[in-house]
Amino acid sequence: MKRVDLLDSHMSYVDEGAGEGTVVLLHGNPTSSHIWRHVVPRLAGAARVVAPDLIGMGESGKPDIDYSFADQAAYLEAFLAAIGVERPVLVGYDWGGSLALDWAARHPGRARGLVLMETFLRPMTWAEFPTGATEFFRTLRTPGAGEQMALAENWFIEHALRATNPGIADEDLAAYRKPFPDPDARRPLLAWPRQIPLAEAGGPFEPAAVAERFEAYAAWAAATPEVPKLLLTGSPHALGSPAMTAWAKEHVAGLEVASIGEEVGHHAPEDAPEAIAEAVLGLLARLP
């Protein structure tokens, strides 16, 4: 792992390979760059491949911040500037996908392409949220109950990871557990579910500030057919549901959709690293 000091902290990252372009791999909650361990070697022969640990996660620093979406985006922006990434292909799942879309929308003309999976393409209603996760996420967003669940019980590491991806090995689970030894270290894990812009039927999206950023990048995605976007689908019961995929086909310009297997869980790089790598290589081959 390399390390770069930025803002009031530091970020750690994998940086391998060489080529005319750069691929940036962005993980989700509660993982780290470790989730790309089988993807990076497959891409490193075709491009520079960068996989950061998002701020507060993995081996990156844990500054005294709120770990809001805006915070995460600011640290990612500073990180990419610090290591000299100008025109990346952005690959992300879960919150990594949202951060990729947000960065692309705020830096028009710089993203060469996006590969997304299991992410938030726009604000969602609770009715659109994966059914099996609704009760847990309502609890996580409840003051007191969420702290008990995410901070005291370490629910994301000890239960959520294998609930969606049961094949995660003990040694890999240990790698994800290591950065979060105590409740204070787990604050970033609780911040993430509270940042998802969700709404009851007919009601406003909360938090509103994050909903605005999601709406902005959804508008950008609809207006940029010149930027190739690849949506990879897996389990029909997760964020990449058939309904959301159908919405993407209608509203995202320059979109291609490809399956990486119906048994691929939410943390898709754990289950299908080869298919993801091949999809990214395919997109790279099609770029000017």
Evaluate if residue 240 carries a pLDDT over 90. Answer: no
Query: How many structural domains does the chain have?
Result: 1
Residue 283 — very low, low, confident or very high, per pLDDT cuts 50/70/90? very high
Q: Angle of helix 95-106 relative to helix 208-222, nearest 10 degrees?
A: 70
Residues serving a catalytic function are 94, 118, 266
Evaluate if residue 284 carries a pLDDT over 90. Answer: yes
Q: What percent of the chain has a predicted confidence (pLDDT) above 90?
A: 94
Closest C-alpha among 183, 160, 150, 12 to residue 168? 160
How many C-beta atoms surround the C-beta of residue 285 within 10 A?
Answer: 8
Contact call for residues 60 and 11 (beta carbons, < 8 A):
yes
Q: Could you report the per-residue pLDDT of 148-184, keeping only the tens digit for each?
A: 999 999 999 999 999 999 999 999 999 999 999 999 9
Residue 35 — very low, low, confident or very high, per pLDDT cuts 50/70/90? very high
- Phi, psi values for residue 278, rounded to 5°: -65, -40
Mean model confidence pLDDT for the chain: 97
The pLDDT assigned to 142 comes to 98
The pLDDT assigned to 201 comes to 87
Q: What percent of the chain has a predicted confidence (pLDDT) above 70?
A: 100
Q: Could you report the per-residue pLDDT of 98-153, keeping only the tens digit for each?
A: 999 999 999 999 999 999 999 999 999 999 999 889 999 999 999 999 999 999 99
Residues 6 or more apart whose Cβ sits within 8 Å of residue 203: none
Q: Could you report the per-residue pLDDT of 209-237, keeping only the tens digit for each?
A: 999 999 999 999 999 999 999 999 998 88
Residue 288 — very low, low, confident or very high, per pLDDT cuts 50/70/90? confident
What is the domain extent for residue 144? 2-286
**At 12, which CATH number?**
3.40.50.1820
Over residues 17-45, mean pLDDT: 96
The pLDDT assigned to 238 comes to 87
Over residues 191-208, mean pLDDT: 96
